[in-house]
Amino acid sequence: MIAAIGAVAANGMLGLNNWLPWDIPEELAYFERMVEGAALLIGRATYESMDVVPEDSFVISHRTDLVMRPGCRQVEDVESGLRSALATGKPVFVIGGASIYAAAWPYCERFYLTRIERDFAGDTLFPAEIPLAEWPVLAERTQSYLEKKSGERVLCRFIEYKQPSPRSLA
């Protein structure tokens, strides 16, 4: 199954200075738990921002000088990246950033989206064209966490959306 996973602020922001706009360790830990053992599809900018990139990660880029870490492979577009990720036999997660969500969402059967119920300053917006509002919600839970940059508590809504008719890769 192909799924996407990400987090977005109330004002639509998902990135700042090539990292997350917030510091919520529990939300990051949730992401890490969810994608453990999966094959990942990653945009080049997000890939370069990550300290640790697990094996069977497929990085979308047109660059010719990109250095691949062990177990990672460069792919030239979303479709070939998803095919290669599926060929590993593992669950496949699209982990962003914005440009990759925008290109890959039609293929995703699920979108695990954490809605962080506060505005954050940022420079990268979650793609507005993903029609999540039209997709059924399979599961949702809300949890309050300390956001460490502001020192304030924020509500995180962990939502599992199901896309009714994902596009086939054939």
Ligand X SMILES: NC(=O)c1ccc[n+]([C@@H]2O[C@H](COP(=O)([O-])OP(=O)(O)OC[C@H]3O[C@@H](n4cnc5c(N)ncnc54)[C@H](OP(=O)(O)O)[C@@H]3O)[C@@H](O)[C@H]2O)c1
Residues that bind ligand X (CB under 6 A): 6-7, 14-15, 18-20, 43-46, 49, 60-63, 76-78, 95-100, 103, 124
HSE on the CB side for 161, CA within 13 Å? 23
Name the 3-class secondary structure at 92. Answer: strand
- Amino acid identity at 72: C
Helix (H) or strand (E) holding 102: helix 98-104
Contact, 49 vs 64, CB < 8 A? Answer: no
Contact, 101 vs 6, CB < 8 A? Answer: yes
Nearest approach in angstroms of CB 22 to ligand X is 9
Q: How far is CA 145 from CA 15, 34, 77, 120, in A?
A: 19, 18, 36, 15
- Amino acid identity at 26: E
**For ligand X, which is the closer residue by CB, 52 or 89?**
52
Nearest approach in angstroms of CB 91 to ligand X is 17
CA angle 63, 100, 42 (to 5 degrees): 65
- What's the rounded Cα separation, in Å, for the pair 91 and 21? 27
Nearest approach in angstroms of CB 142 to ligand X is 18
**For ligand X, which is the closer residue by CB, 80 or 89?**
80
Nearest approach in angstroms of CB 45 to ligand X is 3
**For ligand X, which is the closer residue by CB, 17 or 88?**
17
**For ligand X, which is the closer residue by CB, 20 or 56?**
20
**For ligand X, which is the closer residue by CB, 49 or 84?**
49
Nearest approach in angstroms of CB 100 to ligand X is 4
